[in-house]
Amino acid sequence: MSVTARRRPDASMTLLTEVMERPLDPGYQAAADRRNVSGAHPVTPANRVVTTVLLAVIGLLTVAAVLALRAPQPEAASAKDALLERIRSETAAADRLQRANDTLRLTNDKAQADLLRLQSRGSLADRIQQLGMVSGALAVRGPGLQVSVKDAPGSAPTAGEDPRQQDEKAQGRVLDRDLQIVVNGLWAAGAEAISINGQRLTALSAIRSAGEAILVDFRPLTPPYVISAIGSSDALRSGFASGAAGPYLHSLQDNYGIGSSIDSVSSLSLPAASGLTLHEVRPPPSPTSSRSPTSTESSP
């Protein structure tokens, strides 16, 4: 007669049983038993003291390394100061050259107008004057509208990601696209000439950002941003308010705390654009010249 062994209730959970009853791997257990039998590397108070001292030394070295890395470097600070000083110096030199260039251009324009009038070509001089004002080559003066936009109080500079998608301090900064929308709204309202912080805008002007700065024709601007537009004050104000730019400016104030103001000015003075370059010129057709049917003309 055979006796059948009784099955353990937890026979189906062999893995869990092994983990509970034998938490240490057999190989590690055998190594620990051999070490205890041989008496090798016994854990003594001296070993504990040495281990504690080593950990303390490693901790002190780590703290010293962190402090050394965070300490200001005199060489780096002096190099940064020298770079900032050079930037200020070069910017001042560029401003002086720009003022000299503006003076020479005004002298040339006056000499050209006087020469055309002496040659009894007053209509051509008036036409050149008109085109110069429209293209931005000449300074203009007249009534108009002045729109001021400034950062929200307590706003912090930011770079990289879209500031409007970051925290509240970054959202309060005026962006290049904000100035683009305001300027386009003034053009659409009938402005005849526009400048931002003294930088005259033309058909080729670009308003963009570089890092934390807003550039107009590669010249950096600093807030507050004052946009001056020459034209009928009432027409500009009503056209700007009824277009898309007026509500957009109000939404900047309501949502992000960006301040703005719109003022009518009886007399605005806008300088000439500094970056105009003549790419192509053609003489007017002579009334006495005749062209052969087979003649050809090459364009420049």
How do the domains of the chain map onto residue ranges? 14-69, 89-138, 141-274
Question: What is the phi/psi pair of residue 145, to 5°?
Answer: -125, 145
In angstroms, the CA 3 to CA 100 distance is 116
Taking a C-beta distance cutoff of 8 angstroms, is the pair 258, 150 a contact?
yes
Residues in the chain with pLDDT values less than 50:
1, 290-300
Q: Strand, helix or coil at 196? A: strand
29: which 2 tokens? 């257990």
Alpha-carbon span 163 to 51, nearest angstrom: 51
What is residue 4's predicted lDDT score, i.e. its pLDDT? 57
Residues 6+ away with beta carbon under 8 Å from 99 = none
Euclidean distance between CA atoms 8 and 263, whole angstroms: 93
On the CB side of 76, how many CA atoms lie within 13 Å of its CA? 5
pLDDT for residue 189: 94
Q: What pLDDT does 150 receive?
A: 92
CA 136, CA 174: separation in Å to the nearest integer? 26
Strands 193-196, 140-150: parallel, antiparallel or unpaired by DSSP? unpaired
Write the pLDDT tens digit of every residue in 170-193. 678 899 999 999 999 999 999 999
The confidence score (pLDDT) of residue 164 equals 64
CATH 3.30.70.1880 fits 141-274, yes or no: yes
The predicted-structure confidence for 54-113, as pLDDT tens digits, reads as follows 889 998 999 888 887 776 667 767 787 888 888 888 888 888 887 888 788 778 777 877
Whether the Cβ atoms of residue 246 and residue 181 lie closer than 8 Å to each other: no
Which of 233, 221, 225, 240 has the alpha carbon at shortest distance from 178? 225
pLDDT recorded at residue 161: 57
- DSSP letter assigned to residue 81: H
DSSP per-residue codes, 273-285: PS--------PPP
Measured at the CA of 84, the angle between CA 93 and CA 153, to 5 degrees, comes to: 105
* Whole-number pLDDT of residue 129: 73
What integer pLDDT is reported at residue 297 of this predicted model? 36
Q: Where are the alpha helices (DSSP H) in the chain?
A: 14-21, 26-38, 45-70, 74-118, 122-135, 168-171, 176-188, 233-242, 245-256
Based on the number of CB atoms within 10 Å of its own CB, is 4 exposed (0-12), middle (13-18) or buried (19 or more)? exposed
Residue 192, judged by CB atoms within 10 A of its CB (0-12, 13-18, 19+), counts as middle
